[in-house]
Structure 1
Amino acid sequence: MKLKGLGIILLALCILFGCKKGADDYTEGLTEEQTAILEFVSEISDRSTRADFKDLFTTAPNASELKKYQEFSFSALDPIEVNGNSATAQVEIVKYGGDDPASTKTWKFSKSGETWKIDAAPL
């Protein structure tokens, strides 16, 4: 009976703490700049409703175009290609609450100082 109890405790600990790799493993094998692009893209959905959203772009789209970004979530996919101060990434675009399948588009970025900005982000 004691072994059964120990097994249940071990199973509970495994479920509680996880039996797989850590949360940071999604960046494993990526350079610092690739990781920066990955994280930047993942923040776009949250920032799309803020007044400073236009500041994420090198040249901001008009207000109606900016508003369209609020309808989607975004995830950078592998490969993320960084060449100096420019980068490209395949970005998965998913419409909130929609039945449409995700689409994938190539987005372009440039680095201004220490900050990455969006050059082109087609929806």
Structure 2
Amino acid sequence: MRAFSRLLLAAAVACAAGCGQSTSLPPAPDLGEDGRQIATLVDRLNEDSSRPSHLKQLFAAGATADSRALRQYQYGLKDKPAVSGGTATGTVVLEKAAGNATVEKEWTFVKEGDKWKIKAAPLQ
């Protein structure tokens, strides 16, 4: 029974030591509705790059997607994209899966109907 009491006391002390401390992240930038849709599109590339049928749906008509090359990276939109009507440009951070090296590239997006699609996604 003493061991159990000590365990409870240790848990209470550990909890009290951590109480009141904030680990909140800085607020996410306001991307606007178009920016959120583009950020979601870029994020989907992380999962869909290994599925050619899904990958094709992320790219605009006439744009090409090399699934082998795209699988080498993880992707994230850096800042709010510049939107002008049905086109947009944004800086995408590419993190190499092996080695954790990151690069930034400017990608272009186009709105087809009510969905944003990737028009150009340079990797090099």
TM-score category, normalised to shorter length: 0.7 to 0.9
Runs of 4+ in 1 over 2 A off after TM superposition: 5-15
TM value normalised by structure 2: 0.75
Please give the alpha-carbon distance, in whole angstroms, between the structure 1 residues aligned to 2:63 and 2:33: 26
Describe the SS at the equivalent of 1:97: coil
Deviation at 1:10, TM superposition (A): 4.1
For residue 37 of structure 1, report the CA deviation from its aligned partner: 1.0
**Residue 52 of structure 1 corresponds to which residue in structure 2?**
54
Say which one has the larger Rg: 2
Gapped runs of 5+ residues in structure 2? 1-10
CA distance in 1, matches of 2:116, 2:109: 7
Quote the residue 2:23 is aligned against: 19
Alpha-carbon distance in 1 for matches of 2:92, 2:18: 37
SS at match of 1:67: helix
Number of matched pairs = 112
1:61 aligns with 2:67: no
CA contact (8 A) 2:91 2:106 kept: yes
TM superposition score normalised by structure 1:
0.75
The code of the aligned residue for 1:49 comes to S
Show the counterpart of 1:120: 120
Partner of 2:79: 78
| 8 Å Cα contact 2:59/2:118 also seen in 1 | yes
Q: Secondary structure at the match of 1:78?
A: coil
Cα distance in 2 between the residues matched to 1:73 and 1:12: 33
* Aligned equivalents of 1:103, 1:55: Cα separation in 2: 25
Secondary structure at 1:89 match in 2: strand
1:107 is aligned to 2:107 = yes
SS of 2:117's equivalent in the other structure is strand
CA RMSD of aligned residues (A): 2.7
Q: Give, in whole Å, the separation in 2 of the partners of 1:93 and 1:87.
A: 18
Q: Distance in 2 between matches of 1:97 and 1:66?
A: 17
Tell me the percent identity. 27
